[in-house]
Amino acid sequence: SSVSTPIRATLFPGDGIGPEIAESVKQVFKAADVPIEWEEHYVGDQIDPRTQSFLTWESLESVRQNGVGLKGPMATPIGKGHRSLNLTLRKELNLYANVRPCYSLPGYKTRYDNVDLITIRENTEGEYSGLEHQVVRGVVESLKIITRQASLRVAEYAFHYAKTHGRERVSAIHKANIMQKTDGLFLKCCREVAEKYPEITYEEVVIDNCCMMLVKNPALFDVLVMPNLYGDIISDLCAGLIGGLGLTPSCNIGEGGIALAEAVHGSAPDIAGKNLANPTALLLSAVTMLRHLELHDKAERIQNAILNTIAEGKYRTADLGGSSTTTDFTKAICDHL
């Protein structure tokens, strides 16, 4: 295809292994001739008073302006007087849904061959509202906030995703038998949205039963939507089904159509700077960003090159049982393009 003006996208290389795996994305995009111009932003070493965080106002503006971005892992510096970097991004950009596709990689054997799940996590409230206090000595309280607005928004996103991605079923995951008011409201909102999508099968599954079913037979599920904490846990469980954190991508969806893709894993300080990190998770996150931009040809080509490299088995990083460096593995992907 002939594209004249490049699309601008924000890139946060992040901390630890972040710069190494971000470099890998830049190289693969270059080799695949992706019409994207990266606008790189770094986490500062001083608090920006406008954001109360080490992320500058200019960095946030860049994502708002571009509407798309890719984020490496960020290690939150310890100390008082600032907000967590990930929380700042989530709140300031109103990143209300975290979408994590999780599928078996052909040629990389795990306990299951048939995993093909999408978890959609509410990303702004629930147990992660950050409202905790001590009532009296020895008694603390944490507020789990569920609102109709945020629940409808994430449910709407889940059903729309299912419909536009050829998915057949949405399962709402909950514990409404115990959390009657909060999870009860979440379910009520999911049901309301489900009525607008009669072509999509809707079901409700209690979280404990869901965990048992997922590890017994992941093929029982298709798209899963759930409140914040359950989503955090279930999506890592799903990552474990297909081979671990080095492989699983995600994309944060924000108000006004913002898409900020990121790997699920952290900055991996134990292997940082050693050319050992597996860039697959960030690369596949970048692929979700391309799909969001409807650059489907490029997305498909890059995804196939990654999967073929892993399937071939000649170049794999240590987390997948191989002995390749990040740079060798990246070069092998470029050669597969």
Question: How distant, in Å, are the alpha carbons of 38, 128, 216 from that of 179?
Answer: 44, 15, 26
Residue 323 CB, nearest approach to ligand NAD (Å): 13
**Contacting residues for 326 by C-beta, under 8 A, at least 6 apart:** 20, 21, 24, 275, 276, 277, 278, 279, 317
Site map 56..75 versus ligand NAD, x via CB under 6 A: -----------------xxx
Site map 216..255 versus ligand NAD, x via CB under 6 A: -----------------------------xx---------
Q: How many residues at the interface with ligand NAD, by CB under 6 A?
A: 20
Residue 37 CB, nearest approach to ligand NAD (Å): 24
Which residue's C-beta sits nearest to ligand NAD?
Answer: 266
Residue type, 89: L
Shortest CA distance to 91 belongs to which of 63, 133, 66? 63
Tell me if 76 contacts ligand NAD by CB under 6 A: yes
Nearer to ligand NAD, 55 or 190 (CB): 55
Tell me if 268 contacts ligand NAD by CB under 6 A: yes
Tell me if 93 contacts ligand NAD by CB under 6 A: no
Residue type, 247: L
B/e letters for 87-97, b = 16+ CB within 10 Å, e = fewer, are: ebbbbbbbbbb
Residue 167 CB, nearest approach to ligand NAD (Å): 25
Residue 190 CB, nearest approach to ligand NAD (Å): 26
- Runs of H (alpha helix) within the chain: 18-31, 57-66, 85-92, 148-164, 182-195, 207-216, 228-242, 280-292, 296-312, 326-336
The residues of the shown chain that bind ligand NAD, judged by CB under 6 A, are 17, 73-76, 86, 245-246, 262, 265-271, 277-278, 281, 319
